[in-house]
Structure 1
Amino acid sequence: MLLKLLTILLVLYPSYLNAFATKPEAAKSLLKWKTSLINQNNPLLASWSLDPSINRTTSSAPCTWYGVHCNDHRDVVKLNLSNSRLNGTLQYFTFSSFASLTHLDLRQNDVSGPIPVEIMYLSKLLFLDLSGNHFSRTIPQEIGMLTNLETLSLHGNNLEGHIPISIGNMSKLGHLRVDDNKLSGSIPRELENLANLVKVNMSFNFLTGHIPSGLGHLTKLSELYLFLNNLTGSIPPTLGNSSSLRSLYLHMNKLSGRIPNELGNMNNLILLHFGHNQLTGSIPASLGNLTNLKMLDVHENFLSGIVPQELGKLESLTELSFSHNKLSGQIPVSIGNLSRLELLYLNDNQFNGSIPKELGNLHSLVELILLINQLRGPIPDSLGNLKRLEQFTVHSNKLSGYFPETIGKCKKLRYLILSDNLLTGRVPKSVCNLRSLKILHLGNNRLSGVIPQCLSNFSHEIQVLDLRMNRLHGNIPTTFVKQNNKLKSLNLNGNRLQGSIPRTLVSCRDLEVLNLGNNMLTGGFPHWIDTLPEMQVLVLRGNKLNGTLLKMNTKTPFQKLRILDLSSNEFSGLLPSNYFKNFKAMMAVDKDVSKDLYMGDNYMYDDTVVLVLKGLSLELQRILVIHTTIDLSVNKFEDEIPDTIGQLRSLRYLNLSHNSLSGRISTHLGNLKVLHHLDLSSNKLVGGIPQQLTSLTFLADVNFSQNQLKGAIPQGGQFNTFGNSSFQGNSGLCGFPLTKKCGDDGVSLSPTPDDEDKDEDSTFFDGFSWKSVVMGYGFGMLIGSGIGWLMFHLGKPRWVIRITEQSRQKRK
């Protein structure tokens, strides 16, 4: 018996010794890797030590270390070091020391460099997660030797090159994530061999080629994410065989062709997103069979035809987006059956007919967006039943009739945008019941009557009040609240409003845009406005305002002002030099691209302004911060142009025409290096045109006509492009482009000494009457300079599209 026992011990002893012999090897390998890390003193790895002074023994290491897990034989089987602040590479990680490893989790660290080919030694690996690091270069082909792998997560790195076809050897793989990298090439057809695949995510890369049709034969596939790539070709009809598929995201590619009818067979599909591709044809009626569908998004394609009534059977649907297509016909009445619908986007199509009253049955609806279609008729009263509605946007249609009183019942409305329609009647007082309203935009309609007083005090939340281009009369409301006033933009341009500008607007401390142009307002300039610290756009043109602009209510007025349009009034006296010297936003060319490119920060509303150049008008739908403008034309200003204008070095448009300005043109105008348009016509200016203006390389248009100027017209630079009309009406001017040659009739060949002695900083206004219509060369310079500025600072980065899509996904 004793002999037998000794025999057994002799047999087992070598393997027993080997079991303990491998532990120091694994421990030493981990310590070697630790010392290679940039932050090897990471407190989370403090337990990684063989020092007996901290109660660690060689026999227990490394199984008691942080993130290390062993089996009963003391083999290291799991390394879970996720979110451990690791900073380094895997160059010194000895993979061959961990032959029993089944789980390696290094996600959310700062590990960089390539994925070593030695990873193939982890032959028992079931789970590999290297996501959220900085791994670069290609995915090694050797990774395909991990044939036991069930989960492979490499997303959120800087990996590039092709996806290795060796992945097709991983017959047990169920979850594959390589999204958010820089991978290129095509999707390997070898994925068709992976019958156990449940989830595939290859989105947010640069993949090209077609979607492999064999993916439709993967019977266990539940989630397929291929969005944000450069995939081409058609959507494989075989995907209709994917009876287990629940999520199919193919948006933001270059897919073409029709949406296959076969997709109507995917009975378990919940999320379907084909947006932002090049799909054509009609929406298949078979999609009405997807009764479990919660999201159907095909926005930004070339789909046409009518929306099938069968979609009214999708009773689980919470989001429906057909926006930015060419869909026509009427909005299906059957959509009113979708009782769980929360988001309905039908904008930017060719829908006609009326808004179905059945939409009032969508009691779960939060956002209803129908803008830019050809919808006619009244807004149905039934929409007042939508108690959860937060956004109702139907601008740019042909809707008529009265503004519905029932809208006032939608107490959760935050964005109400009904502009650019044919609505008539009064603005109902019931709109003041919308206590959560942030944006009210009713501009460009045919609304009449007076503005309800409650609109100026009904809510502390409202940020935008836009009633421009209507037929409203009476006075501007005077009851603007003082406490917690959040109004940023007030636009009443193009109505028939009378009286003075209410002083209570001084309570609107956040006001950035005040546009009261083209009304019949009277009284003097509202000097108290200069105390509003955020004011960027002030438009009072086309009224009957009078008096001088010399008074100031603060030492630093209009620090952020970028657009000042007081044209076509009856202002008199001197130009406001004290104001000019405080226009800080017009003084330095801002090159900080981290700041906003456009005025305003509300994604639901863009401040607009109308510029007038050469008598033509153009409405800028968004205002670039570089469009700095001063227009004081058609008033009664007199005396000289003040030197302080010369300090406005980022000024692009200056119009001082049709006044009674006198004196000489200062040579300091040459300091306005980004000036595009300069109009000093129809004044009483004397002397010569300074040669220094030829250094203004951005100058697209000038007008010196109808003054008392004399001498030779400067030559060189942009002056060689200006025609006769820029100089006519000055009997003393000579030289190109005029037919009158210098030296005739006693005209001097150069400016007089007096002209050269007066070294003024006269800053000019390139102007347009806030109806920005820059046609021809002037228009090209305006738009070209704006786009050029954006491209110079931003290029054409892929992230512009990505950020847009990501923000939209978050909003969903």
Structure 2
Amino acid sequence: MGLLFVLLTISIFSSPSVTTSSSSKPEAEALLKWKTSFINQNNPLISSWSSLIHQNTTTAPCTWYGVRCDDGLNVKQLNLSSSRLNGTLNYFMFSSFTSLTHLDLKTNDISGGIPPEITYLSKLLFLDLSGNHFSGTIPPEIGLLTSLETLRLNQNQFSGSIPASLGNLTKLVYLRADDNKLSGYIPQEMGKLVNLVNVNISFNFQKGPIPATLGTLTNLSTLYLYQNNLSGPIPPSLGNLTSLTILSVYMNELSGRIPDDLGKMKSLIVLMIGHNKFTGSIPASLSNLAKLEILDVHENLLSGFIPPQLEKLDSLIELSFSHNEFSGQIPASLGNLSKLEQLYLNDNLLTGFIPEELGNMNSLVEIYVVENRLQGQIPYSIGNLTNLEIFVLHDNQFSGFFPETISHCEKLRYLTLSNNSVMGPVPQSVCNLKSLQILDLGNNRFSGVLPQCLGNFSSNLQVLDLRLNGFRGNIPATFDQNNDLRSLNLNSNRLQGSVPWDLIKCRKLEVLDLGNNMLTGTFPHWVDTLPELQVLVLRGNKLKGTLDNSNNKTPFPKMRILDLSSNEFSGNLPKNYFKNFKAMMGVNGDSSGPLYMGRNSSMSMYQDKLVLVVKGSRRELERILVVYTTMDLSVNKFQGKIPDTIGRLSSLRFLNLSHNSLTGGIPIHLRDLRMLESLDLSSNKMVGKIPLELRTLTFLSVVNFSQNQFQGSIPEGGQFNTFGNNSYEGNMGLCGFPLTKSCGDDEVSSSPIPIEDDDDDDDSGFFNGFTWEAVALGYGFGSVIGLGIGWLMFHYGRPRWVIMIVERERFRQERKAIKTPQVEVSATSRAFRRKKLSQVSDVNFTMSF
């Protein structure tokens, strides 16, 4: 009886109303099993996915987060997008979801591959796996999901080829596989997907031709194939896609001519075929695309004239023909494109004038006609473009006067006209452009007095570039407080007077270039308080006074380029400045930041330009590397010694203190300028020896110690073995290589270099195992000198100093061979090569101008 009671009790409490039958709820169990595989099982969004023992088994899992069921309580949809799921599909039991029609897992952290078991989802209509970390190949089993209408695999890391089995998905309407690592060819079988409306396979590594079979997809509305490695021509069959609204194939390797058949695509709104290798002319048939709003063929090899028939495209908003080889004139008929907002014609071979009719394009916002051969006067009708914001005309042959009607373009933000021949005064009306951020009129023939209104122009102005003109008078002294001026370049004009104190209001100023004018007065010490100043150029003026009396405790915290040469500055060198040039000490270096100055601002379309004398040559920098550091105080009247504090500037690359009246010796602390490439101390009154420690400056390619009173032996080894006689001339007390005067001898030796005694062996390591490869390595660090010497060797024969190196090394090795076994000489040679190759591999960056 007792046993029977126990069995009865168990039977009662085992009722199906409180337990779960594994056969009745397989979908719920499958979801729970999948959940246990997640890295973040405690995800609050799926907290409703819990044990069925505490839930109503009739409705579970239909009431769970993201789960939708049909009338028979079978799971029909899993909508789990942006649900913070972190796991794989390896533990997803596809066989438990035979009624599933909709699987949305986009924007999660799911990784791994797509299991072949996905074929169990035979009723699937919608599959979205985008925005995850899926990898591996797209399994061919996907081609068995023949009911699929939407397939989104974009923004993952899928690789390999697109499977040809996708051609079986004849009901497919939307296909996205963009932004992956897919390679191989686009399968011809895609031509079977006759219901396709949208296709996007961009941002991959697809190669080969565009399949001609795509021309059968007459329902296609958008076709995105951009940024791949596709090659060959555009198949003319694409002209059959009369429903296509967007065709984007830019940034591929496509070639051949643009087919006339594209003119049949009457529904086309966007045609982007730029950044390929198309040749020939623009087919006139494109003028049939009446709905076209964007026509972009930039950066190809297209030539011929711009078709005047394009005036028929009265819906056009953007026209980009830049970076091609178009010639002839800008068609006046383009003036009929009244809806056009962007016109890009830069970097072509266009000639003639800007037609007056362009003034009818009153919707224009941007005009780029940079780097052509356009000439004549800028038309007055430009003033009709009241919506114009960007007007970029630099590097042409424009002449005549600048139209005063430009003041009507009140929305104008960028105006660049540099490198032309425009003349006359800057019209006063320019100051009415209150929205202007960039005004670049450099390298023209402007003249007259600078309008004082340029000082209080507007708080929006960030760049004022008027260099290389004929302006005269004083620099404006009417700058607004809290202005946004970042770059002021007035180099190479005829400006007079002093540097206006009013510039102290420009607290965001990074570049101040007033060089090559006729400025007078003393050094503007207040300028060292500008917290963002990186470039200060005052060279070629008549400024005077001392620099070493600044009271600022932290002057020039971001200074990178200081050029005060060719003035009348006197007194001692500014040791206080040397102590505080933190940007020259390497403490502000940031490898993750912008490479060029100005790239971290809204002025990315403007590059700061600078003219400097570097390594004895005049160099015009079209843009300034942020790591470019130079100090030029040459051709002044500085006196006294070079302060030891200069050794703190460990990131300094070019140092010129020549043509002053400096005395004392070369500071040993110069050895700490480990990035130094050029050092010029010539034409001073300096004395003493050239420190041996300078041999450690492995980037040094140019030195000039000439016209001083140095004495003693010239250091040997390192870069010093690449410098010629002209680096030392005018120092009667110097001796040793490369001079013909031997140390310890008062006369010039015309015989081969004698064998030196054993005491000199300490410095002979550089030449152990000497080869021309070693000379080449030395030139590698001093490319300018190396190339120059190489040219001289071939043009005039072997230079005498090179012959001296070889002869000296030969005598040393012969003597070494007497007292050292040959195996040791070979070991030394191998060690030398390893050391030099190691030095070369350690070089991350070398400036060689």
Residue 30 of structure 2 aligns to a residue in which SS? helix
Displacement of 1:618 after TM fit?
1.9
- What is the match of residue 569 of structure 2? 571
Partners in 1 of 2:24 and 2:338 — Cα distance?
62
Displacement of 1:281 after TM fit?
1.0
Of 483, 487, 499, which aligns to 1:489?
487
Larger Rg: 2
What amino acid is the match of 2:631?
I
Partners in 2 of 1:355 and 1:747 — Cα distance?
69
Tell me: CA distance 1:791–1:237, structure 2 relative to 1, closer, same or farther (3 Å).
farther
- What is the match of residue 685 of structure 1? 686
Displacement of 1:779 after TM fit?
9.4
Displacement of 1:551 after TM fit?
2.2
Displacement of 1:693 after TM fit?
1.2
Residue 281 of structure 2 aligns to a residue in which SS? coil
Displacement of 1:603 after TM fit?
1.4
Partners in 2 of 1:434 and 1:696 — Cα distance?
51
Residue 238 of structure 1 aligns to a residue in which SS? helix
Displacement of 1:614 after TM fit?
4.7
- What is the match of residue 257 of structure 1? 256
Q: How does 1:326-725 map to 2 (within 5 A)?
A: 326-482=325-481, 484-588=482-586, 592-600=590-598, 601=600, 602-725=603-726
Partners in 2 of 1:144 and 1:780 — Cα distance?
65
Bigger Cα displacement from structure 2, 547-556 vs 387-396: 547-556
Q: Is the 8 A contact 1:329 1:352 kept in 2?
A: yes
The C-alpha deviation readout for 1:288-340, integer Å capped at 9, x for no partner, is 11110000001111111111111111000000001111111001111111110
Partners in 1 of 2:655 and 2:843 — Cα distance?
25
- What is the match of residue 760 of structure 2? none
The C-alpha deviation readout for 1:168-202, integer Å capped at 9, x for no partner, is 11111111111001111111111011111111111
What amino acid is the match of 1:96?
S
What amino acid is the match of 2:78?
L
Q: How does 1:90-169 map to 2 (within 5 A)?
A: 90-169=89-168
What amino acid is the match of 2:238?
L
Residue 367 of structure 2 aligns to a residue in which SS? strand
Residue 440 of structure 1 aligns to a residue in which SS? strand
Displacement of 1:592 after TM fit?
3.0
Q: Is the 8 A contact 1:246 1:269 kept in 2?
A: yes
Q: Is the 8 A contact 2:380 2:405 kept in 1?
A: yes
Q: Is the 8 A contact 1:678 1:702 kept in 2?
A: yes
Tell me: CA distance 1:302–1:244, structure 2 relative to 1, closer, same or farther (3 Å).
same
Tell me: CA distance 1:312–1:513, structure 2 relative to 1, closer, same or farther (3 Å).
same
The C-alpha deviation readout for 1:88-126, integer Å capped at 9, x for no partner, is 111111111001111100001111111111111111111
Displacement of 1:611 after TM fit?
2.2
Partners in 1 of 2:722 and 2:731 — Cα distance?
19
The C-alpha deviation readout for 1:646-668, integer Å capped at 9, x for no partner, is 00000001111111111111222
Partners in 1 of 2:104 and 2:172 — Cα distance?
16
Verify: 1:304 aligned to 2:303, yes or no: yes
Partners in 2 of 1:685 and 1:668 — Cα distance?
16
Q: Is the 8 A contact 1:50 1:61 kept in 2?
A: no
Q: Is the 8 A contact 1:174 1:196 kept in 2?
A: yes
Q: Is the 8 A contact 1:154 1:177 kept in 2?
A: yes
Partners in 1 of 2:361 and 2:843 — Cα distance?
44
What amino acid is the match of 1:637?
F
Displacement of 1:792 after TM fit?
5.4
Q: Is the 8 A contact 2:335 2:361 kept in 1?
A: yes
Q: Is the 8 A contact 1:283 1:307 kept in 2?
A: yes
Q: Is the 8 A contact 1:338 1:362 kept in 2?
A: yes
Tell me: CA distance 1:586–1:497, structure 2 relative to 1, closer, same or farther (3 Å).
same
Residue 746 of structure 2 aligns to a residue in which SS? helix
TM-score normalised over the length of structure 2: 0.85
Displacement of 1:458 after TM fit?
2.1
- What is the match of residue 82 of structure 2? 83
Partners in 2 of 1:101 and 1:590 — Cα distance?
58
Partners in 1 of 2:95 and 2:494 — Cα distance?
84
Q: Is the 8 A contact 2:437 2:462 kept in 1?
A: yes
What amino acid is the match of 1:46?
S
Displacement of 1:776 after TM fit?
4.0
Q: Is the 8 A contact 1:254 1:278 kept in 2?
A: yes
Q: Is the 8 A contact 1:23 1:75 kept in 2?
A: no
- What is the match of residue 291 of structure 1? 290
Q: Is the 8 A contact 1:299 1:324 kept in 2?
A: yes
Residue 646 of structure 2 aligns to a residue in which SS? helix
Tell me: CA distance 1:239–1:695, structure 2 relative to 1, closer, same or farther (3 Å).
same
What amino acid is the match of 2:416?
I
Partners in 1 of 2:541 and 2:157 — Cα distance?
59
Residue 692 of structure 1 aligns to a residue in which SS? helix
Q: Is the 8 A contact 1:23 1:62 kept in 2?
A: no
Displacement of 1:157 after TM fit?
0.5
Displacement of 1:729 after TM fit?
1.1
CA RMSD of aligned residues (A): 2.1
Partners in 2 of 1:143 and 1:677 — Cα distance?
64
Displacement of 1:481 after TM fit?
0.5
Displacement of 1:439 after TM fit?
0.5
Partners in 2 of 1:397 and 1:408 — Cα distance?
22
For structure 2, which runs of at least 5 residues remain unmatched after alignment?
Answer: 1-19, 750-755, 758-781, 790-839
Q: Is the 8 A contact 1:711 1:747 kept in 2?
A: no
Partners in 2 of 1:114 and 1:705 — Cα distance?
70
Partners in 2 of 1:178 and 1:700 — Cα distance?
52
Q: Is the 8 A contact 2:523 2:545 kept in 1?
A: yes
- What is the match of residue 48 of structure 1? 49
Residue 401 of structure 1 aligns to a residue in which SS? coil
Partners in 2 of 1:790 and 1:431 — Cα distance?
52
What amino acid is the match of 1:587?
M
Partners in 2 of 1:775 and 1:466 — Cα distance?
33
- What is the match of residue 6 of structure 1? none
Q: Is the 8 A contact 1:50 1:58 kept in 2?
A: no
Tell me: CA distance 1:685–1:560, structure 2 relative to 1, closer, same or farther (3 Å).
same
Verify: 1:29 aligned to 2:27, yes or no: no
Displacement of 1:607 after TM fit?
0.8
The C-alpha deviation readout for 1:488-526, integer Å capped at 9, x for no partner, is 100000100000000010001100100000000000000
Tell me: CA distance 1:560–1:468, structure 2 relative to 1, closer, same or farther (3 Å).
same
Tell me: CA distance 1:421–1:625, structure 2 relative to 1, closer, same or farther (3 Å).
same
What amino acid is the match of 1:256?
S
Q: Is the 8 A contact 1:734 1:747 kept in 2?
A: no
Residue 645 of structure 1 aligns to a residue in which SS? helix
Residue 497 of structure 1 aligns to a residue in which SS? strand
The C-alpha deviation readout for 1:613-642, integer Å capped at 9, x for no partner, is 354222111111111110001101011111
Bigger Cα displacement from structure 2, 731-740 vs 316-325: 731-740
Q: Is the 8 A contact 1:589 1:650 kept in 2?
A: no
Residue 664 of structure 1 aligns to a residue in which SS? coil
- What is the match of residue 784 of structure 1? none
Residue 255 of structure 1 aligns to a residue in which SS? strand
Residue 622 of structure 1 aligns to a residue in which SS? coil
What amino acid is the match of 2:625?
L
Partners in 2 of 1:737 and 1:541 — Cα distance?
34
State the identity %.
66
Partners in 1 of 2:455 and 2:192 — Cα distance?
67
Tell me: CA distance 1:778–1:316, structure 2 relative to 1, closer, same or farther (3 Å).
farther
The C-alpha deviation readout for 1:391-438, integer Å capped at 9, x for no partner, is 000000000011110001100000011111000000111111111110
Q: Is the 8 A contact 1:664 1:686 kept in 2?
A: yes
- Give the count of matched residue pairs: 743
Q: Is the 8 A contact 1:545 1:571 kept in 2?
A: yes
Tell me: CA distance 1:427–1:242, structure 2 relative to 1, closer, same or farther (3 Å).
same
The C-alpha deviation readout for 1:574-593, integer Å capped at 9, x for no partner, is 00000110000100266532
